[in-house]
């Protein structure tokens, strides 16, 4: 019977430092690049839109994003708690082997889509820089005149999809930790790019709610730690505690960081970058897609996140116990924006800022209300005209049907004379 390998303490200590550095790198890189990927072409809000015939197929078109509102921020910790506790019960009362089979298949499919998109985003600029012309297709599924589905793709999408399917198959069969990290990083990049907060108020409420959520489920119960250990899917980034010097055949012991501790602060950091773009764009309407603008809020929040993550790792290493990362990350991100806003005298602008997408929605609501009001007024006018025609004598064509109030006044005067 072979004895279990016990690494020397010095090797374990060095291995942990390597693991912490790797986890930190895998956390900050998706936030940095995802934030820049979330930027849209700056458009002067005061400029009139010019619609061209080929605008539908333009390369300058931005990705559609999903905006999180204030109501979503309030409910997010509630739904998160329900989901987390539900998973805890599933793993406790059902065979986790079969549960993880289903989760593996599901996340393998999601991983194909995520890695395809990230791969295209990485390769497309290089192809464009080299000067290679890539064919584009636009597939539409319609029923009569109604468009049911629309998708645009290039040969790059097809190539990356094949590569993603192969990677997903490899992960499903082997559960390789490197493939799992690739999927996890791609999930984080896509989430930060495509999920946007509509305001700083929404972001601060979201971080505050998850601050309480993380503390309760980590310190108050065993639920979070139990689910994290049993949930065998790429919803976390992992790295071996002892990567160098481990004998061949010995199983790895992993250090991990949940994707929620990357994505949630990440969308807030991305909001800071868009706010920096907004401040510059007001003064420079021709900013376009340039990223050469002052980034005080992004820089402050990004550094604050790194400090908060470092604090989390330090406390975890010191006390040898799992830590709720948002306990340190949420205050760090919120305070960085508040301090920067106060220091620059822009605290009012910080809380007044609303993403352009939501401003467009508000404008659309206002326009729709005006249209509805106008239609109602037209209907009332038509109804009054019909009523006037039916109530007036056939020979009184000289009176206008559109002046019922004037007629009532005349009638009133006639009654007074009598």
Q: Are strands 254-258 and 236-240 parallel, antiparallel or unpaired?
A: antiparallel
Enumerate residue ranges in the chain where pLDDT < 70: 1-5, 44-62, 245-250, 356-418
> Do residues 301 and 333 make contact, with C-beta atoms less than 8 angstroms apart?
yes
Q: Which residues of 5-18 are buried (b: 16+ CB within 10 A; e: fewer)?
A: eebeeeeeebbbeb
56, 62, 133, 214: the active-site residue: 214
Token pair, residue 358, equals: 């939501």
pLDDT at position 360, please?
56
pLDDT at position 26, please?
96
Give the three-state DSSP class for 133. coil
pLDDT at position 78, please?
96
Measured CA to CA, the distance from residue 108 to residue 87 in angstroms comes to: 19
Measured CA to CA, the distance from residue 144 to residue 355 in angstroms comes to: 35
Q: What radius of gyration do the chain's Cα atoms show? A: 30
Q: Give yes or no: 214 in active site.
A: yes
SS3 readout for 234-283:
CCEEEEECCCCCCCCCCCCCEEEEECHHHHHHHHHHHHHHHHHHHHHHHH
pLDDT tens digit string along 235-283?
999 999 887 766 655 677 889 999 999 999 999 999 999 999 999 988 8
Distances (CA, A) of 28 to 246, 264, 274, 387: 27, 12, 18, 70
Token pair, residue 36, equals: 């820049």
Say whether pTM exceeds 0.95. no
133, 261, 378, 379: the active-site residue: 261
Quick one: how far is CA 142 from the chain centroid?
28
Measured CA to CA, the distance from residue 354 to residue 362 in angstroms comes to: 11
387 HSE (CA, 13 A, CB side): 11
pLDDT at position 326, please?
94
Q: Give yes or no: 261 in active site.
A: yes
pLDDT tens digit string along 95-120?
888 998 999 999 999 999 999 999 99
> Which residue ranges make up each domain of the chain?
9-42+63-266, 355-387
pLDDT at position 266, please?
97
Measured CA to CA, the distance from residue 211 to residue 73 in angstroms comes to: 12
């Amino acid at each position: 019977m072979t004895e279990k390998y016990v690494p020397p303490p010095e090797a374990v200590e060095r291995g942990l430092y390597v693991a912490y550095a790797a986890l930190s790198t895998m956390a900050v890189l998706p936030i940095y690049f995802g934030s820049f990927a979330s930027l849209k072409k700056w458009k002067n809000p005061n400029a009139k839109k010019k619609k061209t015939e080929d605008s539908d197929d333009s390369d300058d078109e931005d990705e559609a994003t999903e905006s999180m509102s204030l109501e979503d921020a309030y409910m997010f910790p509630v739904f998160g708690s329900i989901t987390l506790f539900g998973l805890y019960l599933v793993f406790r009362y059902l065979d986790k082997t079969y549960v993880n089979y289903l989760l593996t298949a599901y996340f393998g499919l999601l991983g194909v889509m995520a890695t395809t998109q990230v791969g295209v985003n990485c390769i497309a600029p290089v192809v464009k820089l080299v000067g290679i012309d890539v064919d584009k297709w636009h597939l539409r599924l319609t029923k009569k005149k109604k468009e049911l589905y629309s998708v645009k793709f290039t040969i790059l999408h097809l190539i990356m999809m094949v590569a993603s399917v192969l990677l997903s198959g490899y992960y499903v069969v082997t559960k390789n930790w490197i493939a799992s990290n690739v999927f996890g990083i791609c999930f984080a990049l896509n989430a930060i790019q495509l999920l946007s907060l509509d305001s700083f108020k929404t972001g601060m409420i979201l971080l505050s709610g998850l601050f309480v959520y993380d503390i309760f489920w980590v310190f108050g119960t065993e639920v979070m730690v139990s689910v994290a250990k049993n949930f065998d899917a790429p919803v976390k980034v992992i790295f071996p505690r002892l990567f160098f010097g481990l004998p061949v055949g010995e199983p790895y012991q992993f250090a991990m960081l949940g994707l929620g501790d990357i994505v949630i602060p990440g969308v807030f950091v991305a909001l800071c970058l868009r706010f920096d773009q907004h401040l510059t764009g007001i003064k420079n309407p021709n900013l376009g897609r340039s990223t050469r603008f002052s980034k005080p809020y992004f820089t402050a929040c990004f550094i604050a996140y790194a400090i908060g993550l470092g604090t989390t790792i330090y406390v975890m290493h010191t006390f040898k116990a799992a830590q709720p990362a948002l306990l340190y990350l949420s205050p760090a991100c919120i305070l960085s924006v508040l301090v920067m806003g106060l220091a620059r005298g822009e605290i009012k602008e910080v809380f007044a800022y609303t993403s352009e997408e939501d401003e467009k929605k508000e404008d659309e609501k206002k326009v729709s209300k005006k249209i509805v009001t106008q239609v109602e007024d037209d209907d009332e006018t038509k109804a009054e005209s019909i009523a006037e025609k039916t109530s007036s004598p056939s020979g009184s064509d000289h009176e206008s049907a559109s002046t019922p109030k004037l007629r009532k006044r005349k009638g009133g005067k006639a009654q007074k004379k009598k």
